[in-house]
């Protein structure tokens, strides 16, 4: 059974860095688009970044230049390196796998349980 497990979240200060990991198992995930989404309290889930296993990347405007998505095919793991963190980056971050290279969460079929990122000012 396909499974995505996120890790690496935590409580950091404004301007700090954090690196999230998403370990994929139970499927041939190198055929999927891997994406990161986030959901802040009281808000809808929003797109953060996506990768075709490092051959092509896509970012939301709010994180472009600060966040970097990468993938390790050998480890079936996707990463999200987050720099210059801001309070508005506070959210639960979710890893998703889909078959279309889009920012639309509805195009992602598999989801992890999420990892909390809190940026304190």
Q: What is the pLDDT along the chain (121 residues), one digit of tens a residue?
A: 789 999 999 999 999 999 999 999 987 787 899 999 999 999 999 999 999 887 889 999 999 999 999 999 899 999 999 999 999 999 999 999 999 999 999 999 999 999 999 999 9
3-state secondary structure of 44: coil
Classify the C-alpha dihedral 23-27-32-37 as positive or negative. Answer: negative
CA 104, CA 45: separation in Å to the nearest integer? Answer: 10
3-state secondary structure of 17: coil
Q: What share of the chain is helix, strand, coil (3-state, %, to 5)?
A: 10, 50, 40
């Amino acid at each position: 059974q396909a499974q995505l497990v996120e890790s690496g979240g935590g409580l950091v200060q404004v301007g700090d860095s954090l690196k999230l990991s998403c370990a994929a198992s139970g499927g041939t995930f190198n055929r999927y688009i891997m994406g990161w989404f986030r959901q802040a309290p009281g808000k809808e889930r929003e797109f953060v970044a996506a990768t075709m296993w490092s051959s092509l990347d896509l970012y939301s405007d709010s994180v472009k230049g600060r966040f970097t998505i990468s993938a390790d095919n050998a480890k079936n793991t996707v990463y999200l390196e987050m720099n210059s963190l801001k309070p508005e980056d506070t959210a639960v971050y979710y890893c998703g796998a889909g078959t279309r290279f889009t920012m639309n969460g509805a195009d992602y079929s598999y989801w992890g349980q999420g990892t909390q990122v809190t940026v304190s000012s």
